[in-house]
Structure 1
């Protein structure tokens, strides 16, 4: 494959399919964007928070329901949530005293698509 034919992850191919980590190299910008997301997910507290938000019936959760699940202060939980927001994983809205969080639509699917390993279409050799 020549350099001109090299597909870069994050760019759509001619057939409309997006490449994965297993099928094409990342370009510099896409690698930097994904690194922010994976860095945010690299902390057990943030990973648990994301899971609690994503799995919540109704699609959103109040910070008042998240904080008791941890032996951390409310400001520390808010800091972790801020990092998840900055990574583009969640969003929030203040309603009176409380802040409600939800997973941004399609975010888990996009992460899954990047990490997906394509299934072989034929036999080996």
Structure 2
């Protein structure tokens, strides 16, 4: 069983203040988080994620991002690929264009990790 989930009241209270208070991250969790954070360390990728997230559950065509970002199609495709590889976006091919939605569980995991109380 995961010791982090079975923490006593004192450790649970500490965890409300800081998510890492339940213990250090496992190596696989640290690798996954680092990969996601690295993907978000680029301003264009942050903008892409925010533009797609702003649409809620509705998917966004890559073609819609071109005008909003004022960058070329290859640049948008490169950044979208990085966000998909990091597990932050889901990609669905529809004919010529790909459509993207936010991977809610990945964003929720990042939010929990970054929450400081």
TM interval, short-chain normalised: 0.7 to 0.9
Output one character per residue of 1:63-85: Cα deviation in whole Å (capped at 9) or x when no partner.
Answer: 11111112321011001000000
Contact 2:57–2:101, Cα closer than 8 Å, also in 1? no
**5+ residue gaps, structure 2:** none
Aligned to 2:68: 69
Relative to its length, the structure with more helix (as a share) is 2
Q: Give the whole-Å Cα distance in 2 for the aligned partners of 1:57 and 1:42.
A: 22
Residue 57 of structure 1, CA deviation: 4.6
Task: Name the CA distance, whole Å, in 2 between partners of 1:99 and 1:110.
Answer: 25
| Structure with larger Rg | 1
Structure with bigger RCO (C-alpha 8 Å, 6+ apart) = 2
Task: Tell me, in whole angstroms, the C-alpha distance in 2 between the residues paired with 1:33 and 1:107.
Answer: 10
Question: When the two structures are superposed, what TM-score results if normalisation uses the length of structure 1?
Answer: 0.75
Q: How far 1:114 sits from its partner (Å)?
A: 1.1
Count of residue correspondences? 108
Contact kept? 1:21, 1:115, Cα under 8 Å? no
Q: How does 1:5-84 map to 2 (within 5 A)?
A: 12-14=4-6, 20-84=19-83
User: In structure 1, the residue corresponding to 2:104 is in which secondary structure?
Assistant: coil
Tell me what 1:110 maps to.
109
Can you give the 5+ residue segments of structure 1 that lack an aligned partner in the other structure? Answer: 1-9, 119-125
